[in-house]
Structure 1
Amino acid sequence: LAESFNATLKREVLQDAACWPDKATCRREVFRWILRYNNRRRHSWCGYTSPVDYEKNTTSTTLTTAA
């Protein structure tokens, strides 16, 4: 799983950027990509929906309210 994540990060963010102007810029771009990856990017394991949408759709039907 980690290898897949790292390969995707390298392919989508780091591959086209030969050189970053500074560390802060690189960190911002990686952080922005991670937020997108975790929240908005469609994943095959959840029916090609974003993880946020998947959780909204499944937790309301599978979890019961605690007393």
Structure 2
Amino acid sequence: MGRRGNPYDNAKAESFMKTLKIEAVYPMDFHTFDDVAKHLPHFIDDVYNKRRLHSALAYLSTQQFEDQHASLRDESDP
């Protein structure tokens, strides 16, 4: 761990950056840095964190996973 230039050392960040580029940056036609600064927080907050399917969550969106978890927790409460 910690070797310079080795993407395996930082796999989660590398995976996120790949997703960000492919799904949010490359399809858009940004003209200024302000365009990027306005669009990317929306993508991260509203798309990546809430609606995008995540393999670590059994291919559920975070919202679906949280809803499922809450319903299971509610069922187990006496």
Residue of structure 1 equivalent to 2:64: 53
Among residues 14, 26, 32, which one is paired with 2:42 in the alignment?
A: 32
Q: CA deviation at 1:62?
A: 4.5
TM-score after normalising by structure 1: 0.72
The code of the aligned residue for 1:54 comes to F
2:67 and 2:24 map into 1 onto residues whose CA distance is 28
Instruction: List structure 1 segments (4+ residues) > 3 angstroms apart after TM superposition.
Output: 62-65
Amino acid paired to 1:24: D
Show structure 2 runs of 5+ residues with no match.
Answer: 1-11
Distance 1:39 1:9 in 2: 14
Which one has a bigger Cα radius of gyration?
2
Q: C-alpha separation between the residues in 2 aligned to 1:60 and 1:39? A: 18
Match of residue 15 from structure 1: 26
1:25: Cα distance to partner?
1.7
TM (norm. structure 2) is 0.64
In the alignment of these two chains, the number of paired residues is 64
Whole-angstrom CA distance in 1 between matches of 2:52 and 2:24: 14
Paired with 1:42 and 1:25, the residues of 2 have a C-alpha distance of 26
Cα distance, 1:24 vs structure 2:
2.5
Higher RCO (Cα < 8 Å, 6 or more apart) = 1
* Structure 1 stretches lacking a partner, 5+ long: none
Pairwise CA distance, 1:23? 2.6
Identity %: 30
